[in-house]
């Protein structure tokens, strides 16, 4: 019988755990729960006889992989998987997957929550502006970016998009306007919504020059990763351009300085909120359980991230 460890420092909602267990029960797998653990030793003990692990933001490093002698697969319930040591997983022949797309709608809805909050002057009673007929530029047209585009259409916005790997032709076929570069996206968009992953190419790529290219009254909204922001550069640009606003779901390291210097033009959620919905929580957990069953029963490696 396969043993699937659900190791979550921050547990799934009870309904999600129930759903995961049902999927695994149906496959005649055993579900082992390790929730709210505070000591890594507990995780090391629990992985010892697991065939598969479902995690959230939990760290699966070389030490954990060394301790997991039977382990074949780790599934990160969520999009980002920088909490798993892929090199060590390769050494141990362990398949690593994420569950892309399961929280994208949640993140995309938050983008619009943050945007309405910004354009309505944080609900301070003074006249703000509308999103209709504004141009929104979507940087990286993946799962979240496409959901932002879908919702933006409902707001009556014009959608521009750039993705380093999605061809312009595909963006056009989906009914949106491709642009040729990140710089062009910033030049042409009233609002730029960031959805690129943190990679060596994107690290600190949202910088002084790009922000300076925005049209008057430009807004940047970040629900991606803080690593892609050049925090000093963005602050410098916003000190020079008093019309630019910045809203982020990933609190920057210089949050205090941003708050002090930019006042109401800057906003950060206190904690990353993008994927924090009951639906996303449950979707990702269920997808993880289904992917594990499909992997063992059919050799399905579609969502493998360590090729
Ligand atoms: P995804 O993998 O579906 O899409 C990412 C897209 O980025 C892909 O289309 C890819 O081609 C593109 N891309 C990669 N490198 C690029 C580059 N250098 N320039 C332009 N485009 C590039 O991922 P997703 O699910 O859409 O997630 C997007 C981002 O949102 C990720 O950074 C993820 O970590 C973050 N995220 C945040 C939250 C939150 O709670 N705020 C939740 C989920 C995801």
Q: What is the average pLDDT across 121-145?
A: 97
pLDDT at 285 over 90: yes
Instruction: Give the number of other CB atoms < 10 A from CB of residue 83.
Output: 15
Whether the full predicted model's pTM is greater than 0.95, yes or no, is no
> Mean per-residue pLDDT for 267-282?
93
Q: Give the pLDDT confidence score for residue 246 in this predicted structure.
A: 98
Taking the C-alpha atoms of residue 257 and residue 289, their distance in angstroms, rounded to an integer, is 43
Distance 251 CA to ligand 1 centre (A): 17
The beta strands (E) that lie in 30-170 are given as: 30-35, 52-55, 73-76, 95-98, 135-139, 158-162
Q: Is the per-residue pLDDT at 190 higher than 90? A: yes
pLDDT surpassing 90 at residue 307? no
Q: Is the ipTM of this complex over 0.95?
A: yes
Query: pLDDT at position 151, please?
Result: 98
Give the residue whose CA is nearest to atom 34 of ligand 1: 80
The whole-number average pLDDT for the span 74-87 is 94
**Mean pLDDT, residues 288-300:** 98
Tell me the average pLDDT across 261-284.
Answer: 94
- Cα(125) to ligand 1 centroid in Å equals 35
3-state secondary structure of 94: coil
More confident residue, 79 or 72: 72
Give the residues surrounding ligand 1 with Cβ less than 6 Å away.
79-80, 100, 103-104, 107, 140-145, 163-166, 195-197, 199, 201-202, 223-225, 249, 272, 274-275
Report residue 70's pLDDT band, with 50, 70 and 90 as the boundaries. Answer: very high
Domain with CATH 3.40.50.720 in the chain: 3-102+277-298, 130-268
The predicted structure's pLDDT at residue 130: 98
- 3-class DSSP assignment, residue 15: helix
Class in CATH terms, 130-268: alpha beta
Q: How far is the CA of 70 from the centre of ligand 1 (A)?
A: 32
Q: Can you tell me the distance from the alpha carbon of 14 to that of 298, in angstroms, rounded to the nearest whole number?
A: 28
* CATH no. for 3-102+277-298: 3.40.50.720
CA 269 to chain centre: 14
Beta pairing class for 177-178 and 95-98: unpaired
Nearest CA to ligand 1 atom 32: 197
Q: Which atom of ligand 1 is nearest to the CA of 80?
A: 34
**Distance (Å, whole) CA 170 – CA 190:** 23
With CA atoms as reference, report the closest residue to 290 among 101, 158, 163: 101
Mutate to test the pocket of ligand 1, among 56, 81, 110, 140 (most ligand atoms within 8 A of CB): 140
- Among residues 242, 213, 245, the alpha carbon closest in space to that of 117 is found at 245
Which atom of ligand 1 is closest in space to residue 78's alpha carbon? 43
Supply 139's token pair.
């940087």
109 vs 131: CA distance, rounded Å: 14
Instruction: Assign 281 a pLDDT band (cuts: 50, 70, 90).
Output: confident
- Residue nearest atom 37 in ligand 1 by C-alpha distance: 224
What is the reported pLDDT for 109? Answer: 98
The secondary structure of the chain in percent helix, strand, coil, rounded to multiples of 5, reads 40, 20, 40
* pLDDT for 306: 96
Please, what is the average pLDDT of the chain?
97
Q: Which of the two residues, 217 and 82, has the higher pLDDT score?
A: 217
**Cα–Cα distance list, 140 to 89, 149, 224, 249 (Å):** 28, 11, 10, 17
pLDDT exceeds cutoff 90 at 83: yes
Residue 90 confidence (pLDDT)? 98
């Amino acid at each position: 019988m396969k043993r699937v460890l659900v190791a979550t420092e921050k547990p799934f909602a009870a309904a999600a755990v129930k759903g995961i267990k049902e999927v695994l029960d149906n496959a005649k797998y055993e579900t082992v729960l390790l929730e709210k653990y505070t000591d890594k030793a507990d995780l090391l003990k629990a992985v010892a006889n697991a065939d598969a692990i479902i995690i959230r933001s939990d760290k699966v490093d070389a030490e954990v992989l060394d301790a997991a002698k039977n382990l074949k697969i780790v599934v990160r319930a969520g999009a980002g998987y920088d909490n798993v040591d892929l090199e060590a997983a390769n050494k141990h022949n362990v398949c690593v997957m994420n569950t892309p797309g399961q929280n994208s709608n949640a993140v995309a809805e938050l983008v619009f929550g943050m945007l309405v909050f910004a354009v309505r002057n944080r609900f301070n009673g003074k006249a703000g502006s509308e999103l209709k007929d504004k141009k929104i530029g979507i940087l990286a047209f993946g799962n979240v970016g496409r959901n932002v585009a879908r919702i933006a259409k409902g707001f009556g916005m014009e959608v521009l998009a750039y993705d380093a790997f999605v061809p312009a032709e595909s963006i056009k076929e989906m009914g949106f306007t491709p642009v040729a570069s990140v710089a062009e996206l910033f030049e042409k968009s009233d609002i730029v919504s960031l959805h690129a992953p943190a990679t060596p190419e994107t690290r600190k790529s949202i910088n002084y020059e790009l922000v300076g290219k925005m049209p008057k009254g430009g807004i940047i909204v970040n629900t991606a990763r803080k690593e892609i922001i050049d925090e000093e550069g963005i602050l410098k640009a916003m000190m020079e351009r008093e019309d630019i606003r910045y809203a982020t779901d990933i609190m920057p390291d210089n949050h205090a300085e941003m708050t002090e210097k930019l006042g109401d033009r800057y906003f950060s959620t206190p904690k990353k909120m993008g994927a924090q919905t009951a639906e996303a929580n449950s979707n990702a957990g269920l997808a993880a359980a289904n992917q594990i069953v499909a992997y063992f029963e059919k050799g399905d490696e579609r969502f493998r991230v360590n090729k």
